[in-house]
Amino acid sequence: MARMYIFKRFERFWHWAQAALIIFMLATGFEIHGTYALFGWEKAANLHTTAAWTLIGLWLFAIFWHFTTGEWKQYIPTTKNVVAVMNYYSVGIFTGAPHPFRATQLSKHNPLQRLAYLLVKLVINPLIWVSGLAYLYYNELAALKVPVLAGLQLGPIALVHTAAAFMMLAFLIGHLYLSTTGHTPLAHIKAMITGWEDAEGDEPAANTVKEGAA
Amino acid sequence: MRTGILATALMASMLFASTACVSADAATEKLLKSTSDHTKFKALQQEFNSGPEVTKACLSCHTEAAKQIHKTQHWKWEYRSPDGQLLGKKNVINNFCTSITTNEAACNVCHVGYGWKDDKFDFTSEVNVDCLVCHDSTGNYRKPAGLAGNVVTKAMEFPPGSGNIIKPIDLKKIAQAVAKTSRDNCGACHFYGGGGDGVKHGDMDSSLASPDKALDVHMDALGLNFACATCHMTEGHQVPGSRYAPTAQDKEGAHIRGKEDKTNPTTCQACHGQAPHKKIAKLNDHTDKVACQSCHIPKFSRGGVATKMSWDWSTGGRMGPDGKPLITKDDKGRVIYTAAKGDFVLGENVVPDYQWFNGRVIYTLFSDKVEKSDTPTRINRFEGSADDGKSLIWPVKIMRGKQAYDPVNKRLAIVHTAGNDDTGYWTNFNWEKAVAAGMASVGAPFSGKVDFVATESTWPITHMVAPAKDALGCRDCHAAEGRLEKVTGIYIPGRASDHAGWLDTAGWTLAALTLLGTLVHGFGRIVLRKRK
């Protein structure tokens, strides 16, 4: 049985720390929203803010890591094999067909993953960053006397922030489920913990994905 | 050994020195308080038979004092608002005792003068200024009701024939002990506004004469021990901080000595500045929308004295089984009905109402038309909104009432209540006579009919500031049905009524559908894999 080292140490740390922070911020965030009482409003608000700064710190490291290691290329979208992968998840997975994609060190994500993660990185995350920082600093922003910011009200800021939170929640649910779709239900999760992916199982039917960095 | 003896000698001398210091300090302290000892003034070493005689003596040194007083609201009881309305006690009809007109002899015991018993009072008189009511330090100064602010120097029966003897006061002793104003001086009137202890304001009553820290963190008698004038920093007898000209929003920094600052010195910001929260900086983000008072005065009437929350004059005039004017008390022994005044609802530890306030107050004056349909008639109303850039969310006491008006001429009634005569309501319980006398006194027409109209007045809550630990918590407002539930025009995180309903619906639907999709997908995998 072949094993392949796919996820590096920092990458795994980043992933799990981010996962914990996002789940924690969803929990505290919806309490601040008024959906339920869990920690107590004040505590929830304080924890949410602390977690936000922690996550921003983590993101800064992650961005640095992505660019210095060239790992950012993992998220360049590709249309190749998208249909094959979609077919696999809608049909093949039920009939026991092999996954059309096999992860390699240079191409960790299948084309659907690339698209999904890119959506998170380019749409959901920026929405949360910008609206979240505005949520924290709208007083100061309004005081800057910049015309665009002068009329900044908390209502619209909170609206965007809440909308982004719902998107993140939907992503989280989908992501959690899809993590169970490896050759065993825990295969992907194990790989994300140890870094090593089993190359066990059927050979991929059409492993023609080429490196985006070519 | 030698050092031991030296040390002992040193300690002994220190001990001696410190004992000697105690008595010397007390004398020095007294000396350093004032350059004058009023007991030594010739002008005060005489028997005084009336208030004006004392004032004359005061003015022999303090030559300009009366002229300063003449310029104050305390003297004029009149104030022209920026909106041009003529306000002040002389002009306003409120929904407590309603109006001073024709009732001066009773109401005007709280005037800083002697003898304002009717509309003929001479406002240019210097000797009629009452120095002692604000500067008495003995606590023995009295201005009995019914004597138009005059004092009693020889025992007298009042009202005549009542058998009620008013004891005289010793004006010489009082005059020789004058001092700076204290909480007791101001409180003698301001604690008792509306006709009794705590009746009117809700945030001012006799419990503030000597409050503990929990009741008022600034006036705490064993702590900071502020006098009223510590905040109402008075110069030339002009007392700043009147509610007739309130500062709803103070955007200036803390006052600094030496730096000329013409802004209101009574605001919280005048001392605390714009960013007073050091430990939890996020709280400073609230100060552009929320008045300090909203969080730091969690409740009013917290000192054990009840305030009146409503007053229904229309039920007055009931006689008891003994044929005498009825008085009813609640189970705590507090009066909740009198024939003279009608029904009261009392409140203690009251959660204020909250509203936007920009400092502009509009009154319904005697000259304004009143309709029974405009329930309630707003005796006054606080202007303000979320987006005028001048308003903060303020805590207020809303006083509700039912009071007499002329349903034909559609005017609030001037009621002659106090007075030992045939028309005074408190003596004869006849509305038509009492209103006829009141209206006639100002030359206003009266239809002869009296009805009652629902009224509402608004009072700022700004005293009884609690220690920081007792201030409101986040959850008091950041919640559905929180304290600010009714305040509109602002997004408050956690307040359900602010949520965009479509977003919550769409968001939860998206999450639910995603979950459902994964469940169906997962179920399919399990079933089909087993079949295989």
Q: CB neighbours of B427 closer than 8 A, spacing ≥ 6?
A: B419, B420, B421
Q: Is the pLDDT of residue A207 over 50?
A: no
Domain presence at residue B44: yes
Residue B489 near residue B356, CB atoms below 8 Å: yes
Q: Which residues share a beta bridge with B346?
A: B308
Query: Angle, to 10 degrees, between the axis of helix A154-178 and the axis of helix A9-33?
Result: 130
Contact between A34 and B510 using a beta-carbon 8 Å cutoff: no
- In degrees and rounded to multiples of 5, residue B113 shows phi and psi of -155, 180
Signed CA dihedral, A157, A160, A165, A168: sign only = negative
Check residue B210 and give its pLDDT.
97
Nearest CA in chain B to A158: B493
Instruction: Give the number of beta-carbon pairs within 8 Å between A and B.
Output: 85
Domain presence at residue A110: yes
Check residue A135 and give its pLDDT.
93
- What is the CB neighbour count within 10 angstroms for residue B7? 10
Contact between A166 and B495 using a beta-carbon 8 Å cutoff: no
Domain that holds residue B127: 35-179
- For tokens 């989280």, the residue is A172
Confidence of residue B217 (pLDDT cuts 50, 70, 90): very high
Residue B510 near residue A170, CB atoms below 8 Å: yes
Q: Is the pLDDT of residue B156 over 70?
A: yes
List b or e across A162-177, with b for residues whose CB sees 16 or more CB atoms inside 10 angstroms.
bbbbbbbbbbbbbbeb
The pTM score is: 0.89
Convert the pLDDT of each residue in A11-56 to its tens digit: 999 999 999 999 999 999 999 999 999 999 999 999 999 999 999 9
pLDDT higher at A115 or B359 = B359
List b or e across B247-259, with b for residues whose CB sees 16 or more CB atoms inside 10 angstroms.
bbbbeeeebeeee
Query: Angle, to 10 degrees, between the axis of helix A154-178 and the axis of helix A125-143?
Result: 160
- What is the distance in angstroms between the Cα of B528 and the nearest Cα belonging to chain A? 6
Q: Is the pLDDT of residue B181 over 90?
A: yes
End-to-end CA distance of chain A: 29
Contact between A139 and B285 using a beta-carbon 8 Å cutoff: yes
Q: Is the pLDDT of residue B529 over 80?
A: no
Convert the pLDDT of each residue in B60-110 to its tens digit: 999 999 999 999 999 999 999 999 999 999 999 999 999 999 999 999 999
Domain presence at residue A213: no
Burial label, A74 (beta-carbon count in 10 A; 0-12, 13-18, 19+): buried
| B contact test, residue of A154, A179, A180 with most B CBs within 10 A | A154
Residue A95: list chain B partners with CB under 8 A: 528
Check residue B34 and give its pLDDT.
87
Token pair in block for residue B299? 């409740």
- Mean pLDDT (chain A, rounded): 86
Nearest CA in chain A to B497: A34
Task: Round to whole Å and give the CA distance between B270 and B253.
Answer: 7
CB of B332 less than 8 A from some CB of A: no
- What is the distance in angstroms between the Cα of B387 and the nearest Cα belonging to chain A? 10
Check residue A199 and give its pLDDT.
67
Task: Round to whole Å and give the CA distance between A34 and B494.
Answer: 4
End-to-end CA distance of chain B: 104
ipTM: 0.87
Contact between B525 and A93 using a beta-carbon 8 Å cutoff: yes
DSSP B355: E
Residue A81 near residue A100, CB atoms below 8 Å: yes
Check residue B22 and give its pLDDT.
56
Q: CB neighbours of B324 closer than 8 A, spacing ≥ 6?
A: none
Domain presence at residue B490: no
Q: Is the pLDDT of residue B151 over 50?
A: yes
- What is the CB neighbour count within 10 angstroms for residue A59? 16
Residue A34: list chain B partners with CB under 8 A: 478-480, 493-496, 499
Q: CB neighbours of B248 closer than 8 A, spacing ≥ 6?
A: B291, B357, B358, B359, B384, B390, B391, B392, B394
Domain presence at residue A185: yes
Residue B496: list chain A partners with CB under 8 A: 34
**How many domains are contained in chain B?**
1
DSSP per-residue letters across chain A: --EEE-S-HHHHHHHHHHHHHHHHHHHHHHHHHTS--SS-HHHHHHHHHHHHHHHHHHHHHHHHHHHHHTGGGGG----TTHHHHHHIIIIIHHHTPPPS----SS--S-HHHHHHHHHIIIIIHHHHHHHHHHHHHHHHHHHTT-HHHHT--HHHHHHHHHHHHHHHHHHHHHHHHHTT-SSSTTHHHHHHHHSEEE--SSPPTT--PPPTT-
- What is the distance in angstroms between the Cα of B276 and the nearest Cα belonging to chain A? 16
Check residue B29 and give its pLDDT.
86
Q: Is the pLDDT of residue A202 over 60?
A: no
Domain presence at residue A187: yes
Nearest to B223 by CA among B525, B492, B487, B465: B465
- What is the distance in angstroms between the Cα of A79 and the nearest Cα belonging to chain B? 24
- In order of A153, B73, B501, the CA distances from B497 in angstroms are 16, 44, 9
Residue A181: list chain B partners with CB under 8 A: 525
Residue A32: list chain B partners with CB under 8 A: 478, 493-494
- In degrees and rounded to multiples of 5, residue B255 shows phi and psi of -70, 140
Check residue A81 and give its pLDDT.
81
Contact between A155 and B498 using a beta-carbon 8 Å cutoff: yes
Check residue B348 and give its pLDDT.
97
Contact between A177 and B518 using a beta-carbon 8 Å cutoff: yes
Q: Write out the residues of chain A at the interface with chain B, using a CB-CB cutoff of 8 A.
A: 32-34, 40-42, 45, 49, 93-96, 139, 153-155, 158-159, 162-163, 165-167, 169-170, 173-174, 176-178, 180-181
Contact between A40 and B498 using a beta-carbon 8 Å cutoff: no
**Between B503, B514, B528, which is nearest A173 by CB?**
B514
DSSP per-residue letters across B183-244: HHHHHHHHTTTTTSTTTTTSS-SGGGSS--TTT-TTT-TTTT---HHHHS--BTTB----TT
Mean per-residue pLDDT for B273-277?
Answer: 93
**% of residues, chain B, pLDDT over 90:** 86
Check residue B8 and give its pLDDT.
55
**Between A154, A170, A177, which is nearest B491 by CB?**
A154
Residue B412 near residue B367, CB atoms below 8 Å: no
Confidence of residue A66 (pLDDT cuts 50, 70, 90): very high
Least confident span in A92-106, B30-44, B49-63, B429-443? A92-106
Contact between A153 and B498 using a beta-carbon 8 Å cutoff: no
Task: Round to whole Å and give the CA distance between A184 and A196.
Answer: 14
CB of B507 less than 8 A from some CB of A: yes
- What is the distance in angstroms between the Cα of A212 and the nearest Cα belonging to chain B? 30
Nearest CA in chain B to A90: B521
Least confident span in B19-23, B116-120, B370-374, B438-442? B19-23
Confidence of residue A200 (pLDDT cuts 50, 70, 90): low
Domain presence at residue B327: no
Contact between A155 and B525 using a beta-carbon 8 Å cutoff: no
Domain presence at residue B93: yes
CB of B528 less than 8 A from some CB of A: yes
pLDDT higher at A76 or A1 = A76
- What is the distance in angstroms between the Cα of A54 and the nearest Cα belonging to chain B? 18
Q: CB neighbours of B121 closer than 8 A, spacing ≥ 6?
A: B104, B113, B115, B128
Q: Which amino acid is at B359?
A: G
Contact between A169 and B515 using a beta-carbon 8 Å cutoff: no
**How many domains are contained in chain A?**
1
Residue A182: list chain B partners with CB under 8 A: none
Query: Angle, to 10 degrees, between the axis of helix A9-33 and the axis of helix A41-69?
Result: 150
Check residue B133 and give its pLDDT.
97
Q: Is the pLDDT of residue B171 over 90?
A: yes
Domain presence at residue B493: no
C-alpha of B142 from chain center: 21
- Mean pLDDT (chain B, rounded): 93
- What is the CB neighbour count within 10 angstroms for residue A214? 5
Domain that holds residue A64: 3-198
Task: Round to whole Å and give the CA distance between B203 and B352.
Answer: 10
**% of residues, chain B, pLDDT over 70:** 95
| B contact test, residue of A90, A162, A168 with most B CBs within 10 A | A162
Mean per-residue pLDDT for A197-210?
Answer: 51
Check residue A182 and give its pLDDT.
82
CATH number at residue A131: 1.20.950.20
Highest-scoring range by mean pLDDT, A100-104, A125-129, A197-201: A125-129
- In order of B428, B438, B459, the CA distances from B433 in angstroms are 9, 9, 31
- What is the CB neighbour count within 10 angstroms for residue A115? 17
Contact between B510 and A166 using a beta-carbon 8 Å cutoff: yes
Contact between A167 and B475 using a beta-carbon 8 Å cutoff: no
Domain presence at residue A214: no
Nearest CA in chain B to A161: B503
Domain presence at residue A203: no
Can you list the alpha helix ranges (DSSP code H) found in B51-144? Answer: 51-61, 65-70, 73-76, 104-107, 132-135
Q: Is the pLDDT of residue A194 over 50?
A: yes
